[in-house]
Structure 1
Amino acid sequence: MPLLYVALGVALILVLMIPLKMNGFVALLLAALFVGLLQGMDVNTLLETIVSGIGGQVDDLILILGFGAMLGTVMAEAGAAQRIANTLIDKMGVKRVQVAMLLAAYILGITMFFEVAFVLLIPLVFTIVRQTKMNLLWVALPTVVGLSTTHSFLPPHPGPSAVAGVFGASQGLTLLYGLIIAIPVGFFIALMWPRIPFIKKLKPSIPEGLGTSKIFKEEEMPSFFASISSALIPVALMAVLAVTEITLPEDNSFRHYMEFFGSAPIALMISLLISFYILGPKIGRPLSDVMKSCSNAIKPMGMIILVIGAGGAFKQVLVDSGVADYIQELTSGWDISPIVLAWLIAVILRIALGSATVAVMTAAGIVLPIAQASGISMELMVLAVTSGSVAFSHVNDPGFWMYKEYLNLSVAEALKTRTTYTTALAILGLIGVLILNMFL
Structure 2
Amino acid sequence: MALLDITLLAATDTAPTPAGGQLVTAALIGIAVIIVLITWVKLHPFLSLTIGALLTGAIAGLGIADSVTSYTTGFGSTMGGVGILVALGAIYGKLLADSGGADQIVDTLVARASARSLPWMMGLIGAIIGLPMFFEVGLVLLVPVIILVARRSGVSLMKIAIPTLAGLSAMHGLVPPHPGPLAAIAALDANLGLTLGFGVIVAIPAIIVAGPLFARYAARWVDVPVPHLFEVDPTEHTRRRPSFGATLTSILLPVLLMLIKAVADIAAPGSDALWKTTLDFLGTPVIALLLAVLVGFFLLGRGAGFDRDRINEIVGASLGPIAGILLIVGAGGGFKQVLVDTGIGAVIADLVAGSSISVLILAWLVAVVIRIATGSATVATITAAGILQPLTETLDQPMIALLVLAIGSGSVFLSHVNDAGFWLIKEYFGLNIPQTLKSWTVLECLISVVGLVGVLLISLFV
Mapped to 2, the partners of 1:420 and 1:56 lie a distance apart of 27
Mapped to 2, the partners of 1:50 and 1:192 lie a distance apart of 38
Pair 334,252 (structure 1): closer, same or farther in 2 beyond 3 Å: farther
Pair 399,308 (structure 1): closer, same or farther in 2 beyond 3 Å: closer
| Superposition map of 1:326-337 within 5 A | 326-335=347-356, 336-337=361-362
Q: 3-state SS of the aligned residue for 1:69?
A: helix
What percentage of aligned pairs have identical amino acids?
A: 24
Mapped to 2, the partners of 1:260 and 1:378 lie a distance apart of 28
Pair 329,295 (structure 1): closer, same or farther in 2 beyond 3 Å: same
Specify the alignment match of 1:385 in structure 2: 411
Mapped to 2, the partners of 1:117 and 1:151 lie a distance apart of 14
Report the AA paired with residue 148 of structure 1: L
1:226 paired with 2:235, answer no
| Superposition map of 1:413-432 within 5 A | 424-431=446-453
Q: TM-score, normalised by structure 2?
A: 0.64
Deviates more, 1:213-222 or 1:30-39: 213-222
1:29 paired with 2:50, answer yes
Report the AA paired with residue 240 of structure 2: E
Q: Give, in angstroms, the shift of residue 250 of structure 1.
A: 0.7
Mapped to 1, the partners of 2:288 and 2:406 lie a distance apart of 22
Q: Give, in angstroms, the shift of residue 266 of structure 1.
A: 0.6
Mapped to 2, the partners of 1:30 and 1:245 lie a distance apart of 41
How many residues are paired up? Answer: 391
Specify the alignment match of 1:8 in structure 2: 26
Specify the alignment match of 2:41 in structure 1: 20
Specify the alignment match of 2:256 in structure 1: 236
1:47 paired with 2:68, answer yes
Task: Provide, for residues 58-83 of structure 1, a one-character-per-residue CA deviation record: whole Å limited to 9, x for no partner.
Answer: 33333222212222222122222221
Correspondent of 2:265 among 231, 245, 270:
245
Specify the alignment match of 1:132 in structure 2: none
Alignment check: 8 A CA contact 2:105 2:247 kept: yes
Task: Provide, for residues 251-285 of structure 1, a one-character-per-residue CA deviation record: whole Å limited to 9, x for no partner.
Answer: 25233222211111011011111001111123202
Q: TM-score, normalised by structure 1?
A: 0.67
Alignment check: 8 A CA contact 1:318 1:365 kept: no
Q: Give, in angstroms, the shift of residue 17 of structure 1.
A: 2.3
Alignment check: 8 A CA contact 1:331 1:370 kept: no
Mapped to 2, the partners of 1:313 and 1:306 lie a distance apart of 10
Report the AA paired with residue 25 of structure 1: F
Deviates more, 1:66-75 or 1:182-191: 182-191
Mapped to 2, the partners of 1:209 and 1:51 lie a distance apart of 31
Q: Give, in angstroms, the shift of residue 322 of structure 1.
A: 4.5
Mapped to 1, the partners of 2:203 and 2:353 lie a distance apart of 30
Specify the alignment match of 1:290 in structure 2: 311
Pair 246,185 (structure 1): closer, same or farther in 2 beyond 3 Å: same
Pair 437,79 (structure 1): closer, same or farther in 2 beyond 3 Å: farther
Q: Give, in angstroms, the shift of residue 303 of structure 1.
A: 3.4
Pair 290,328 (structure 1): closer, same or farther in 2 beyond 3 Å: same
Report the AA paired with residue 245 of structure 1: D
| Superposition map of 1:28-427 within 5 A | 28-91=49-112, 99-100=120-121, 102=123, 110-112=138-140, 116-126=144-154, 142-150=159-167, 152-153=169-170, 185-187=206-208, 192=213, 214=232, 219-253=239-273, 254-335=275-356, 336-343=361-368, 360=375, 369-370=383-384, 372-375=386-389, 384-386=410-412, 388-389=414-415, 424-427=446-449
Report the AA paired with residue 227 of structure 1: T
Mapped to 1, the partners of 2:262 and 2:340 lie a distance apart of 29
Alignment check: 8 A CA contact 1:53 1:309 kept: yes
Mapped to 2, the partners of 1:255 and 1:435 lie a distance apart of 38
Alignment check: 8 A CA contact 1:276 1:290 kept: yes
Q: Give, in angstroms, the shift of residue 164 of structure 1.
A: 5.8
Alignment check: 8 A CA contact 1:149 1:186 kept: yes
Pair 142,208 (structure 1): closer, same or farther in 2 beyond 3 Å: closer
Alignment check: 8 A CA contact 1:327 1:369 kept: no
Mind listing any 5+ residue stretches in structure 2 that lack a counterpart?
A: 1-18, 130-136, 186-191, 390-399, 417-424
Mapped to 2, the partners of 1:33 and 1:208 lie a distance apart of 35
Pair 301,419 (structure 1): closer, same or farther in 2 beyond 3 Å: closer
Mapped to 2, the partners of 1:323 and 1:402 lie a distance apart of 32
Alignment check: 8 A CA contact 1:149 1:182 kept: no
Task: Provide, for residues 335-390 of structure 1, a one-character-per-residue CA deviation record: whole Å limited to 9, x for no partner.
Answer: 453334434665x68xxxxxxxxx945x7778874465445999985664335428
Alignment check: 8 A CA contact 1:81 1:120 kept: yes
Alignment check: 8 A CA contact 1:73 1:297 kept: yes
Pair 113,87 (structure 1): closer, same or farther in 2 beyond 3 Å: closer
Specify the alignment match of 2:4 in structure 1: none
